[in-house]
Amino acid sequence: MRETRLDTARIRAARRVIDPVFLDTPLYRCEALEPGLGCAVSIKLETANPVRSFKARGTEVVASLLADQDSRAVVCASAGNLGQALAWSGRGRGLDVTVVASRFATTAKLDRIRALGATLELVDGDHEVARERAAAIARRDGIRLVEDSLDIETCEGAATIGLELVDATPSFDAVLIALGGGALATGVGHVVKAMAPEVEVICVQPLGAPALTHSWHRRRVVTTDSTDTIADGVAGRYPIPAVLDDLLLVADDAVLVQEASIIAGMRMLLDHAGLVVEPSAALGVAAILEDRDRFAGRHVVTILCGSNVDVDAYHRWVGAAGVNGS
């Protein structure tokens, strides 16, 4: 079998440079969810940290390397979570961080990027337009461009979650991973398949942003003209070929879920787990809701990857039903 771009030794080394506040996140059986889902469910909670997402595991690795270089400036494109994480990691190491984002991105995420001291540039259009602008800034200024999922540090930082999962007791049968650019899926998938190959790695993407899922099924890059999903954190249109190559090696399946299921998942996590999550973090629960028979009688782990939500939008999605029961 071919190998991915990731290296397990480097992933273990990454744990030594990541701030401990982002490591060893809660992993627990959430029995309150189980009657509604029909299977044993454990939650890996990647929201209880200063940037409320898993992204800092990767940006900590990036920033630790940049801190030892002459050039201490860096730019990235972000839907919000990567930008917050890079701003946090860069601030602690004296880096000059610029984040490019769509002006239509979640306001709470943009406000937090500014609050963390990064320079924020907004563009018209979606995340792919922001990626193009960030690349142009990097070329113009001769600074480091951080490309989420393409840069191996972002994948190997995320992969440290996998180390924590495979060391868990009791073991589990499947892991459900939100699929956007692919750093989380390829990182966790690499570790799980290397150390617990019997565990099924299932990637989950919204029906309204299906590019990487279609690419996985067709074994070639498939792009889309647009996206239409509330899960902004995973709404990419142009999969990265190298990421797809890795994903083909570590993912057992890639599935698409409907918006209604994502919202139902968010409601369940609020009602039964007391957790406010962004839509991307509810993708795993949505996948179980749409295919209960597949998971019946199994022990499933779902990674709750972020909780940066616009409060008004969250209330519109979850509504009164989210307070009184789904």
Radius of gyration of the chain (CA): 18
Q: What pLDDT does 319 receive?
A: 85
Q: What pLDDT does 41 receive?
A: 98
CA distance 150 to 196: 25
Q: Is pLDDT of 1 > 70?
A: no
Which residue matches tokens 């590019």?
211
**What percentage of the chain has pLDDT greater than the value 90?**
94
CA distance 221 to 240: 8
**What pLDDT, in 10s, does the model give residues 307-322?**
999 999 999 999 854 4
CA distance 113 to 131: 17
Q: What pLDDT does 321 receive?
A: 47
How many Å from the N-terminal Cα to the C-terminal Cα in the chain? 44
Q: Indicate whether this model's pTM tops 0.85.
A: yes
Q: Smallest Cα–Cα separation from 148: which of 57, 70, 224, 209? A: 57
**With bands split at pLDDT 50, 70 and 90, how would you rate the model's confidence at 31?**
very high
Other beta carbons less than 10 A from residue 187's beta carbon: 32
Q: What pLDDT does 170 receive?
A: 83
**With bands split at pLDDT 50, 70 and 90, how would you rate the model's confidence at 69?**
confident
Strands across the sheet containing 174-178: 27-29, 40-45, 299-304, 174-178, 200-206, 253-257
Q: What pLDDT does 162 receive?
A: 98
Q: Is pLDDT of 60 > 90?
A: yes
Q: Is pLDDT of 23 > 50?
A: yes
CA distance 90 to 198: 38
Could you tell me the two tokens for 37?
Answer: 């889902």
Interval 110-119 mean pLDDT? 97
Q: What pLDDT does 322 receive?
A: 45
Average of per-residue pLDDT values in the chain: 95
Q: What pLDDT does 2 receive?
A: 77
CA distance 85 to 213: 25
Q: What pLDDT does 260 receive?
A: 97
Q: What pLDDT does 325 receive?
A: 41
Q: Smallest Cα–Cα separation from 267: which of 209, 315, 203, 202? A: 315
Interval 263-286 mean pLDDT? 98
**What pLDDT, in 10s, does the model give residues 260-271?**
999 999 999 999
**With bands split at pLDDT 50, 70 and 90, how would you rate the model's confidence at 70?**
confident
Q: Is pLDDT of 323 > 70?
A: no
Q: Smallest Cα–Cα separation from 237: which of 151, 126, 133, 132? A: 126
